């Protein structure tokens, strides 16, 4: 009987030791979880700041690309010839941009049955070829638009077929 009591006391002591070790592990896990959560929150803040910086850098890049390009009746020929798909994207941008509020890549993609990434690459190609596309962000969403003067010139030259040099005196 004394042996059973002795064994019972040893088992209790061993269980108490195991319990203490498990509590230590649980505390370490909770500390690690809190640290991970803090790191995650910090990363989200950094990502948000990086997104804002990317928007600013993008706006600066667009500005610099078109800084020296002023479009008037005299330099309309500065636009390089467009491919068929670039013309399709240009036409969709022209048609959807009737309000001058700008359109999203998603709007153009939906109109043409393309992906947004593909539309974005075509818009970049248009800019590289000299088309005066303006870009701005509305609620963290990129919107692109043609300059109103360029749209008017396109309407006169390509849609109506009026030579703007002939109408300059009017």
Number of domains the chain contains: 2
| In the predicted structure, residue 31 carries a pLDDT above the cut 70 | yes
The two tokens of residue 146 are 């043609």
* Residue 152 and residue 80 in one domain: yes
Enclosing domain of residue 83 = 72-165
- Containing 23, the helix (H) or strand (E) segment is helix 2-66
The two tokens of residue 29 are 């896990």
Rounded CA Rg of the chain: 32
* Residue 134 and residue 104 in one domain: yes
* Residue 22 and residue 78 in one domain: no
CATH number at residue 137: 1.10.10.10
Show which of 35, 68, 101 is a domain's final residue: 68
* Residue 59 and residue 117 in one domain: no
Contacts of 1 (CB under 8 A, 6+ apart): none
pTM, whole model, 2 decimals?
A: 0.52
What tens digit of pLDDT does each residue of 139-168 get?
A: 888 889 888 777 777 767 765 555 545 444
Contacts of 49 (CB under 8 A, 6+ apart): none
41: in domain: yes
* Residue 87 and residue 156 in one domain: yes
Three-class DSSP category at 103: strand
């Amino acid at each position: 009987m004394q042996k059973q009591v002795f064994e019972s006391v040893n088992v209790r002591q061993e269980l108490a030791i195991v319990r203490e070790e498990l509590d230590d592990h649980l505390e370490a896990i909770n500390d690690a979880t809190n640290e991970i959560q803090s790191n995650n929150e910090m990363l989200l803040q950094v990502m948000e700041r990086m997104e804002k910086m990317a928007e600013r850098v993008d706006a600066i890049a667009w500005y610099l690309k078109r800084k020296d390009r002023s479009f008037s009746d005299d330099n309309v020929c500065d636009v390089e010839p467009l491919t068929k798909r670039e013309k399709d994207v240009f036409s969709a941008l022209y048609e959807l941009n009737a309000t001058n509020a700008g359109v999203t890549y998603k709007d153009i993609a939906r109109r043409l049955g393309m992906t947004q990434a593909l539309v974005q690459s075509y818009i970049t190609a248009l800019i590289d070829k000299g088309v005066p596309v303006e870009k701005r962000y509305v609620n963290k969403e990129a919107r692109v638009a043609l300059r109103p003067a360029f749209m008017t010139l396109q309407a006169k030259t390509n849609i109506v077929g009026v030579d703007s040099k002939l109408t300059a005196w009017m």
